[in-house]
Amino acid sequence: MASNNAQLAVIFQQMADVNQVTGGNRFKTIALEKGARVLKDFVKDVADVEPQDLLQVEGIGKGIAQKIEEFLRTGRVLEHQEMIDAVPAGVLKMLDIPGLGPKGVAQLWNDGGVESIDELKQKIEDCSLEGLKGFGKKKLEKLQQSIAFAEKAGERTNIGFALPLALAIIDVLKDLPGVQQIDYAGSLRRGKETIGDIDLLVGAKEKDAARIMDVFVGLEMVEEVLGHGATKSSIRSTDDFRNIQVDLRVVDPKHYGAALMYFTGSKEHNVKVRERALSMGYTLNEYALADKDDKTKQVETKTEQAIYRKLGLAHIAPELREDRGELALAEKDDLPDLIELKDIKADLHTHTTASDGRWSIEENALAYAARGYHTVAITDHSKGQVQANGLDDKRLVRHIEAVRKVAKKLEGKITVLAGSEVDILADGSLDYPDELLAELDVVVASPHAALSQESKKATRRLLDAIANPYVTMIGHPTGRLVLRREGLSPDMEALCKAAAGRGIALEINANHWRLDLRDTHARLALEHGVRLAINTDAHGPADPDQLPYGVLTARRAGATKNDVINCMTAAGLKKWLKSTRG
Ligand code: DGT
Ligand code: CA
Ligand code: CA
Ligand code: ZN
């Protein structure tokens, strides 16, 4: 997503939230939310669109267009800042509590006199919110859990926020004079689902370092400079970029490989590599692999490859550097040939305006055709998802016809499959009868409700879904939301065994809020011979861009393209889908 669009989407969403908290005009909230959604999905950067063309875009009215224009001209929206200034900062922070929402925040603030998360915790504790409308005992207990979960999540951020920020900064720095190499390192390079801070590394000569640092701390996305030194500086990014800490280190290009290896981590991986180096008569630090007895004798410094090679190891992909047995595999040259983004040729879990998506069947399919995919499955929600406009049995029948019609029209361009994301109800039954599921090419069965069910019940529920003969895969099996919701904790081993037995797939939902299966679960699935699916669950045009997060998660699990059904050829996929129907 272009960063102007992303920033504006955040601004409009925040304005919509604050407007609700302050009891502002309802239509204004709707217009702002719509603006935020449209911008999120807008493929072109708004800066490249003529003002009069902007007004032609569905969902962008005069008010929104004026604010976009103001932002492009001044870098901010004045009304946005005024709105934020009018509400106590602690009240705004309460908007981040999962499951509360702007209306709840307004209620707590106006009628409960709560002005911060700490106050809220205190008042729940001493029962002084008793009798507050809409906040019964159960609701308050849930709230308490959400706050505790959010606190445990601490200062980490989703990879989906960290990666775009890192790329935006690199985009500016890479062209500065003297910059010979530049990479993001740390947990971001390892593709972890959450990031503590971003570690950037630049290879440049000492004489160029000061100027590079000056540009870095002066970037427009900088809110606060935490440190400004000759070879290391740290900043905290603005609200629009989620206040993420970014460290930048400049090293001499001669030491770049050793430094990149060191700052990529993980710490645990580094420890194992260093032990190996010592046992072979070397020392290893962020400058060099050197002779143990004479440290001035640097053996390798320039590239990671060379250092690993000297240590008798094949190059280990960053995603595998977690001390999960990768050294033993590298020693035998037995590392998996990890899946890459370009291997993905199908998306098997997508939505359209038939349920809660923001594009038509044809718009969806054409977008995937343009990406070079050979297949897309249309999998709208089932009737249990009332808030998502899920399809009842009758509507599904008509929807299948509509999908078949588009499929026919686009024959030769892309294969469009008729599917459903059918709800796995709390008791393990599916939201459509088998006769209806039999009409579909792809059945993604997913849990959406009752996500705090105890583990045994959750296992039973998911096992029942796996046993259904029409199910192609389980979608986002735990229903967790990264840093927001714990989700189900089923016996993953039992699910993997059952899925392997049925020959069906388990999904890695690539959306950065989900990443479900998570890396360790996906690894377990592979150990049991279960095929993985990597789907984006796209609801609109910007969502297919979530794919990298799913692929990184699969790489962390050690997946090759042969493990992932989305990498099959069109014919291979067709055959595999058939095989799931016994
Ligand atoms: P994060 O930021 O919490 O998501 O995780 P990382 O892995 O990015 O950790 P961070 O930012 O503290 O440090 C970046 C890398 O630098 C880390 O992965 C390994 C390396 N590193 C940092 N401190 C140490 C240390 O004390 N010992 C070793 N061996 N490596 C370290
Ligand atoms: Ca880090
Ligand atoms: Ca760091
Ligand atoms: Zn979905």
- Smallest CA separation from ligand 1 atom 28, residue: 267
Question: How far away, in angstroms, is 462 Cα from ligand 3 center?
Answer: 39
Nearest alpha-carbon partner for 505 in 481, 525, 489, 479: 525
What tokens appear for 1 in the block?
A: 């997503």
Model confidence, pTM: 0.86
Which residues have CB less than 5 Å away from ligand 2 (the ion)? 186-187, 196-197, 199
Quote the pLDDT of residue 411: 97
Q: How far apart (Å, rounded) are the C-alpha atoms in residues 558 and 301?
A: 27
Q: Which fold has domain 157-251?
A: Beta Polymerase; domain 2 (3.30.460)
Q: What does the domain layout of the chain look like in residue ranges? A: 4-153, 157-251, 263-335, 341-579
Question: How far away, in angstroms, is 323 Cα from ligand 2 center?
Answer: 17
265 pocket-lining for ligand 1 (C-beta < 6 Å): yes
User: Is 334 strand, coil or helix?
Assistant: coil
With contact defined as beta carbons under 8 Å apart, do 424 and 461 qualify?
yes
DSSP 429: -
Task: Name all contacts of 111-120 with Cβ < 8 Å and 24+ positions apart.
Answer: 115/88, 115/90, 115/91, 116/88, 116/90, 116/91, 117/90, 117/93, 117/147, 118/90, 119/90, 120/94, 120/147
195 pocket-lining for ligand 1 (C-beta < 6 Å): yes
Quote the pLDDT of residue 138: 86
322 pocket-lining for ligand 1 (C-beta < 6 Å): no
What tokens appear for 266 in the block?
A: 């993980």
Quote the pLDDT of residue 4: 87
Domain 4-153: CATH superfamily is DNA polymerase beta, N-terminal domain-like (1.10.150.110)
From start to end of 537-578, where are the E strands? none
Q: Which residues pair with 228 in a beta bridge?
A: 233
Q: Burial, 150: exposed, middle or buried (Cβ in 10 Å; 0-12, 13-18, 19+)?
A: middle
Question: How far away, in angstroms, is 231 Cα from ligand 3 center?
Answer: 14
- Would you state the CATH architecture of domain 263-335? 2-Layer Sandwich (3.30)
Question: How far away, in angstroms, is 528 Cα from ligand 1 center?
Answer: 32
Pocket test for ligand 1, best of 267, 273, 323 (most atoms within 8 A of CB): 267
Pocket test for ligand 1, best of 195, 263, 322, 483 (most atoms within 8 A of CB): 263
Quote the pLDDT of residue 42: 84
Per-residue pLDDT of the chain (582 residues; tens, 9 = 90+): 447 898 899 999 999 999 999 999 999 999 999 999 999 888 888 999 888 888 888 889 999 999 999 999 998 999 999 999 999 989 998 988 888 889 999 999 999 999 999 999 999 998 889 889 889 888 898 888 888 877 776 689 999 999 999 999 999 999 999 999 999 999 999 999 999 999 999 999 999 999 999 999 999 999 999 999 999 999 999 988 989 999 999 999 999 999 999 999 999 999 999 999 999 999 999 999 999 999 899 999 999 999 999 999 999 999 999 999 999 999 999 999 999 999 999 999 999 999 999 999 999 999 999 999 999 999 999 999 988 999 999 999 999 999 999 999 999 999 999 999 999 999 999 999 999 999 999 999 999 999 999 999 999 999 999 999 999 999 999 999 999 889 999 999 999 999 999 999 999 999 999 999 999 999 999 999 999 999 999 999 999 999 999 999 999 999 999 999 999 999 999 999 999 996
Quote the pLDDT of residue 59: 87
266 pocket-lining for ligand 1 (C-beta < 6 Å): yes
The one-letter amino acid at 123: K
Question: How far away, in angstroms, is 259 Cα from ligand 3 center?
Answer: 13
Question: How far away, in angstroms, is 270 Cα from ligand 2 center?
Answer: 14
199 pocket-lining for ligand 1 (C-beta < 6 Å): yes
- Smallest CA separation from ligand 1 atom 3, residue: 196
Q: How far apart (Å, rounded) are the C-alpha atoms in residues 417 and 502?
A: 21
What tokens appear for 107 in the block?
A: 């209620």
Ligand 1 atom closest to the Cα of residue 274 is 29
Q: How far apart (Å, rounded) are the C-alpha atoms in residues 398 and 392?
A: 10
Quote the pLDDT of residue 43: 80
157 pocket-lining for ligand 1 (C-beta < 6 Å): no
Nearest alpha-carbon partner for 329 in 314, 318, 340, 339: 314
Question: How far away, in angstroms, is 188 Cα from ligand 1 center?
Answer: 11
- Smallest CA separation from ligand 1 atom 30, residue: 267
Question: For strand 375-381 and strand 415-423, is the pairing parallel, antiparallel, or unpaired?
Answer: parallel
With contact defined as beta carbons under 8 Å apart, do 28 and 19 qualify?
yes
158 pocket-lining for ligand 1 (C-beta < 6 Å): no
Domain 341-579: assigned CATH number: 3.20.20.140
Provide φ and ψ at 528, rounded to 5°.
-95, 10
User: Is 393 strand, coil or helix?
Assistant: helix
Q: How far apart (Å, rounded) are the C-alpha atoms in residues 515 and 551?
A: 10
